[in-house]
Amino acid sequence: MTTGEKILLAEDDEGMRELLAEFLQEVGYEVVTAKDGREALQAMEGEEFSLALLDLRLPDISGLEILSALKSRFPDTQVILFTGYGDLESAIQALRLGASDYLLKSDLVMAELQAVVERALERRRLTRENLDLTVHLSLAQEELVRRRAAELKQIRTIGETLAGATTWEKIFHGLLDLIWDGLPLAVMGIRFLGGDWPLENFRRRPEVAEPVFRNFQDWFNRLLLAETENPAPHQTLTAAGESPLPAMLWETGHAGEVTALVAAGREVPFTPEEIELFRIFLLQGEAALNHLRLMEEIRTLAVRDGLTGLYNYRQFWELLNLEVGKSRRYGHPLSLLFMDIDDFKNINDTMGHPQGDMVLKTLGGYLQTGVRQVDVVCRYGGEEFAALLTQTSLEMSIVLAERLRRGIAGLSFPFEGRTVRITMSIGVAELQPGMSGEDLVKAADDALYRAKRRGKNLVCGVEA
């Protein structure tokens, strides 16, 4: 739900700037645009914005500098960064400086943008509401002051506990302890569902009878089943019917493929302040999950090729040096396949670059499934691929390379009513005593060059 809040949009690409501004205005926001960092800073002089959408790569002033200036003046203004694959290290720094999220330009979807904006503004509204609580405290209301101070301390504890969590398990146990210690509850259940690691825990006070506790667990599992079948974030308070206890609180949060469900109950009805605190617990937990997910995605993007999903050039060299060290230490053979698609430029020229990308993506998947799980396939660059074969001799590697070459030659790609086929030349080399990682790459590259000279669609090993 939009509220006419003001958004600062700093983007140097005119087309994208106009598109984003029009979309945000259509859903009800007031948008101030800036084509560069100077205009963004000038806009900040005149008013406070609820949220800023910043391009990391502005022509005159970086998005990080604007982020720093904005946070120094208006700490609760939410900031979302636009970035490309090449800006991942800057994106990590931006998150550490206080940015609430980032979006990749290449994957931008308007519905996702709207959801991210709404989530950031909701977080800001909750923060401001909690800060406003302290403004209206009266010295005459000593008990209220004490209670509000305790709540604010709890909120700070939430942030300190969850913001420092570096694994899903730490967030899970941190949220469990925070809620159990922060609210007077009789029973509580929490579950993280998603991926390959469901986490679940139930707690009860000593005075809660076993039949009541089992009833609560059964109710929790029915709630979880309903949420799995029809996921939607919500929070409710029940006091009758099938509820295991007279007063029940429950809420769900989502972070990518992870769904978090938390439920709690007791005999005495919850106060509005307790309900709000429970909601803050879950929102902060969801924010911590999303932050961790973003950091994991950034780490993945830093080592993976964006098109094929294989390890990229930089990660290849790190893994190569690691495997060379292992080979030296344990005396195991290590071989390298250096592969290049024959005449790939013709594919791009005749079929177009989108079809060329499809060929590269399909080939990357084929190579990954064509080697053992312990082997490492990388996209070296352009149409070049490399495969590190651990504990594999030159002779065994040539056999594998021949199998890959024949399989690739048998692949077919439909294009405009006809079938297009590709071939690949492969150079093979084995690590020898005294060789470095660079020497192994050069040997495999030389073998690849011989395969090209001899007619392509060939496997060549190192010549004696």
Instruction: Tell me the CB-side half-sphere exposure of residue 37, using CA atoms within 13 A.
Output: 16
91-93-98 Cα angle (round to 5): 95
- Map residue 206 onto helix, strand or coil: coil
The DSSP annotation for 39-50 comes to: HHHHHHHH---S
Q: Which tokens hold the place of 128? A: 């401001």
* Residue 112 falls in the annotated catalytic set: no
Query: What is the C-alpha separation between 355 and 361, in angstroms, rounded?
Result: 10
Q: Say how far residue 73 (Cα) sits from the centre of its chain.
A: 29
Buried/exposed code over 333-360 (b: 16+ C-beta within 10 A; e: otherwise): bbbbbbbbbbebeebeeebeeebbebbb
Q: Which of 456, 343, 437, 436 is nearest to 386 (CA)?
A: 437
CB 394 within 8 A of CB 440: no
Rounded distance between C-alpha atoms, residue 188 and residue 195, angstroms: 23
Total Cβ atoms within 10 A of residue 171: 27
Three-class DSSP category at 118: helix
Distances (CA, A) of 274 to 171, 231, 268: 21, 25, 12
* Candidate list 210, 383, 402, 430, residue with the active-site label: 383
Tell me which amino acid residue 136 is: H
Residues catalogued as catalytic: 383
